[in-house]
Structure 1
């Protein structure tokens, strides 16, 4: 007898609302990620000041992520999602009023708090709403919705900045507010699933201590932090290390489009094959891509092809690693530890983005962008070896989505 067909992920209750909320919220985030640092530079900030904008965004995001569990308990899912969308969107018109570094940092911190709420809630929802045996596919689809705004808006940012007034572009960061009509339906869907565990979750268990969960997921979190540091550095400084706005837009499009497809595809793969060998390939690709970027940025001759090849490799690793490590983390932690896992994974993602931007800004001020990318390539080489030779993660956690264990 043939196996019954698997349930469609995109038609699962709550998934369409999740995708719409994520699309609007991440559109506002993606648009301002390269524009806010440029706005600070317009006001007189140097490379370190520009990197500080992204670092503050990620620091505020991490602090907010640590408070999401308390917020959900006090406000519930619907109000928490609405709060996240409002904090992410409403400060953008205020930021457009001044290009001085301090107001930019203050409004960026508020936006980071909203982003922290949205990211933790989004990844929990993707896991909780996934149909039986389709957790990887749900996470891949969620990742695609997260990445599409970067594909459309982040590469367009240099062109927008060169075509329109910077304050007008920044004010468009209010887009997350448009997610409010779908937040209520999403909140109700997640509450229904988390209050009544799905069959694949098995008997309810008490959540494990945070330190135990972190030990189970340490390897994927470490890899995630390093890869997102590299991606965050490119997303922040592409307009600064490329020769023209057109090349900056092409570079960003190459990175983000490749990442979007890889994030979707690797989520689907995670339901079918063990993710650890794929992780070794992805980290090796990131190492090679960063080395090519360092070579291209440090070259005096035209090295556009080398740069784009490096970005293609890095984009594949940047997107694919995000889905892969999230699936690994949920599988190894167990369904009862979804919240802790989501917070830890998102902190790794956002801390990596902020650290990478800050590191590359410091490297550019002390030496060159090329030196910064070469250093990141060396770190990724170490990560590739760690993934390749490390033993399989301990099987202490229960698989959430019945996908292959690594």
Structure 2
């Protein structure tokens, strides 16, 4: 797979639709990232067992995955604008209710509603990113869309953890209502993007075409879910977890943005396996840090973030390329379901594994799993 253009190119950022997409994406994902790593820590502070604290994340993402599978049907019936608006409200409006109680049952109940809203946002955000620019500049558009995700990841994950560890749950809850602020952007955004062509690839065929890159993404996000969920629990004292997650978000932001530009020029065939290896190295370094010293945790978080961010962009570019015309929404649903399934598995299953062999050896096992996934990455880049 390769792509590129010649001549002068005006930055996509100058297009109002691109800016509206990035802003609405940032507001929506800020809510998600504020609560991703902080709610398990909040549940533990309220008396939940650390080994099952990831249940909150797992419930949220399970509902997300279920809703993602029906977003193509919902948009076909009601239209992109109304479905996106309802999704933003469902994600943001219930967040202030976190201040009511810190029990797992209550947190999980809120997660059901917010997870449904997140399912809508993830599928339609990625789909709109594919439609806001010409096909030959899709990598750049997805890179800017990814920047709208990565900046909140950079700031909101460590901020959410810091707020919970400092006992400022009310601030966390109200800040997580941010998706509601994106509602005024929806009408203009939907009017500005080009619609998917009628006919083309069927939803089933598009989802199957996106399967290989989505499997690669699932494994990488499993690793990421483990890091953001259990590092703050394993190292709750001091600023280590906050700084590590900040580095993870920073390097992920840069590579998720820049990987799209590179993909437009040189393709993904070499970039995707290389990014996967970088992620494996980062996980191994985090594991080393849990044994040998905290400095290695910081280095590992930065290296893993670089691989994590690049793989996200490259797998989405590849999924759309494999799905073909008319298959963007179905490919986005498959890709996003894999993203969230991996994150949920990392938040729940890795905790159960760590209870038996320790978090350090669990991260080593995940690093090996990333390396084992290399053949799938090679297959995924064949269009």
- After TM superposition, the score normalised by the length of structure 2 is 0.94
Which residue does the alignment assign to 1:375?
365
Q: Report the 3-state secondary structure (helix = DSSP H, G, I; strand = E; otherwise coil) of the residue aligned with 2:265.
A: coil
Structure 1 residue 216 displacement after superposition: 2.7
Which residue does the alignment assign to 2:243?
250
> Mapping of 1:2-401 within 5 angstroms?
3-131=6-134, 133-190=136-193, 193-194=194-195, 205-208=199-202, 210=204, 212-242=205-235, 244-297=237-290, 299=291, 301=292, 303-387=293-377, 390=379, 393=382, 395=383
* d(CA) in 1 for partners of 2:298, 2:116: 33
* d(CA) in 1 for partners of 2:6, 2:230: 49
* d(CA) in 2 for partners of 1:173, 1:130: 30
CA contact (8 A) 2:256 2:309 kept: yes
* d(CA) in 1 for partners of 2:236, 2:58: 24
Structure 1 residue 127 displacement after superposition: 0.3
* d(CA) in 2 for partners of 1:391, 1:252: 29
- Residue ranges of structure 1 left out of the alignment (5+ in a row): 198-203, 396-406
Q: Report the 3-state secondary structure (helix = DSSP H, G, I; strand = E; otherwise coil) of the residue aligned with 1:327.
A: helix
* d(CA) in 1 for partners of 2:162, 2:376: 40
Give the greater-gyration-radius structure (CA). Answer: 1
- RMSD of aligned alpha carbons: 1.9
Structure 1 residue 74 displacement after superposition: 3.1
* d(CA) in 2 for partners of 1:32, 1:387: 30
CA offsets 1:220-247 (integer angstroms, 9 cap, x no match): 1111100011111111222112252400
Which residue does the alignment assign to 1:201?
none
* d(CA) in 1 for partners of 2:91, 2:304: 28
* d(CA) in 1 for partners of 2:179, 2:203: 34
CA offsets 1:283-333 (integer angstroms, 9 cap, x no match): 111111111211221x1x5x1221122112211111000000000111111
* d(CA) in 1 for partners of 2:277, 2:212: 15
CA contact (8 A) 1:49 1:101 kept: no
* d(CA) in 2 for partners of 1:339, 1:349: 15
Q: Report the 3-state secondary structure (helix = DSSP H, G, I; strand = E; otherwise coil) of the residue aligned with 2:121.
A: helix
* d(CA) in 1 for partners of 2:96, 2:229: 20
Runs of 4+ in 1 over 6 A off after TM superposition: none
Structure 1 residue 12 displacement after superposition: 2.8
CA offsets 1:354-389 (integer angstroms, 9 cap, x no match): 11111221123223111221111111110125435x
Q: Report the 3-state secondary structure (helix = DSSP H, G, I; strand = E; otherwise coil) of the residue aligned with 1:99.
A: coil
* d(CA) in 1 for partners of 2:318, 2:380: 14
- After TM superposition, the score normalised by the length of structure 1 is 0.89
* d(CA) in 1 for partners of 2:224, 2:83: 28
* d(CA) in 2 for partners of 1:358, 1:240: 13
Give the paired residue count. 379
Structure 1 residue 353 displacement after superposition: 0.6
CA contact (8 A) 1:89 1:175 kept: yes
Query: Given the superposition, is the C-alpha separation of residues 3 and 166 from structure 1 closer, same or farther in structure 2, using an over 3 Å criterion?
Result: closer
CA contact (8 A) 1:92 1:174 kept: yes
Structure 1 residue 83 displacement after superposition: 0.5
* d(CA) in 2 for partners of 1:381, 1:3: 35
